[in-house]
Amino acid sequence: MGFAIRRSPRTTILRIVNVSSGAAVGVFPGLAAYGSSKAALRMAGMVVAAELVSSQRRLPTPTDVAILSYEPGIVDTPMQRLAREQPSENFPSVQLFRDFAAYGVLVQPQAPAAEIVAFLESDDQPGFSERRFGTSGSPRARSEGEHDG
C-alpha cells in the first residue's frame, strides 16, 4: 500500500482493496496463520489511512486515496474445496466448511468481484472503510481512533 501511495502522482485517484475474511475478526480453530494474517492486513489498511491524514505526514501523496477492507463472504474457491477435504484431526473447523457447501451458502466469485470493481470505480470514498459482501449501502467508514470493542 505504501509503495503504491508513494509512487503515485498527487493527482492520481487511488483505490486500494484489501481482501479480508471473517477469519480476520472471528476465531476459527485451525486457521491461526490465515486469520491472523488477514487481521494484520486489515490493521495495516487502517494505519496507512490514519497516516495519510496525520499532521506528521511528510511526503507528498495523492490527495484522493481510499482503502477498503473487503470481506467477500463465503466464496466458492479452490481454498474452500481444499478445506472441506481435510481430515478433522488436521483441521478442527472442517465441518463448518463442509456445512457451507451442504447448506448452499457459498457465493460465486463473480458477485463479490462486481462489488470490488464498483469500489475501484467510485468517487468520494473515505480514507478507510470496511464492507462485507452483500451488505446494503456504502462501505462503513472508520474515523481515526475508532475501533471494535
Active site amino acids = 20, 34, 38
Residue 125 · residue 69 · CB < 8 Å: no
Residue type, 82: L
Number of Cβ within 10 Å of residue 97's Cβ equals 22
The candidate with the shortest Cα–Cα distance to 8, out of 54, 42, 52, is 52
Q: How far apart are CA 49 and CA 111, in angstroms?
A: 26
Measured CA to CA in angstroms, residue 89 lies from 23, 29, 95 at distances of: 20, 11, 11
Q: Residue 70 and residue 104: Cα distance in Å, rounded?
A: 22
Helix or strand holding residue 43 (H, E): helix 32-53
